[in-house]
Amino acid sequence: MLIIELAAPTGQSFAADYAAGEIAEFWLDAFFAPWFRSERATREEDRGGTDRFFWERDIERRRAIQYKAIFGASRRNGVFLEYWRNDRHGPHDSWALESPVDRMIVFVPRENIIFHWRPGDLVRAAVEQWIEMYPTKLVVRRTYTSRGVIVPLQALEQEVACIDVMRMSEYPHWRDRRIEVVNANELPLSR
């Protein structure tokens, strides 16, 4: 079995957190490779919310994709779904409520689970319901402030009307791999 150690972001350094996100994107690209050829979005497209374009292997159709890696999520903690943000563009709905992409992909490394959905009314209704049911959290960073709802993994897994679940170990090309999240200072290179 191949165990992939993925360092969790610390929140203390933008560069370190960005690097952790980039590594998670690399593993998502590898996971989806049997079905799609991925193409990195331009810097301008990335600022607009698109991380990748997936080209379907059988037909030449391109889909805009946004990746989110939620490192702190687990069976115990739930998943932080950001629904509001105040940044250089002013206050606005965030990626859990609206996104310009064809597919939102939320990766929970600690559980080796991927949730994916088409942004739209069904997801918006589910998130608005969860805001009433589950705790919300305000996050204040140097360049933005955001608010999200912390949804238990079980609730996401049961939202079959609009959210699809992929357990990575159930796919033949991934059965012998497992991603484990560790603290950055636990990796051999950081010692």
Tell me whether strands 177-183 and 2-8 are parallel, antiparallel or unpaired: parallel
How many domains does one find in the chain? Answer: 1
Contact of 147 with 137, CB cutoff 8 Å: yes
Q: What is the pTM of this model?
A: 0.85
Contacts of 64 (CB under 8 A, 6+ apart): 41, 45, 50, 52, 53, 100, 101, 102, 103
Using the Cα atoms of residue 65, residue 110, residue 188 and residue 142 in order, give the sign of their dihedral: positive
Could you tell me if residue 159 is inside a domain? yes
How far is Cα 72 from Cα 105, in angstroms, rounded to an integer? 16
Range of the domain at 22: 2-50+60-190
Percent of the chain with pLDDT over 70: 84
Inside any domain, residue 88 = yes
C-alpha–C-alpha distance, residues 15 and 135, integer Å = 29
Residue 43 lies in a domain: yes
pLDDT in tens, 114-137: 999 999 888 999 999 999 999 999
In a domain, 161, yes or no: yes
The tens digit of pLDDT for each residue in 2-47 reads 555 565 666 666 777 777 888 889 889 999 999 999 999 999 999 8
The mean pLDDT of 50-59, rounded to a whole number, is: 88
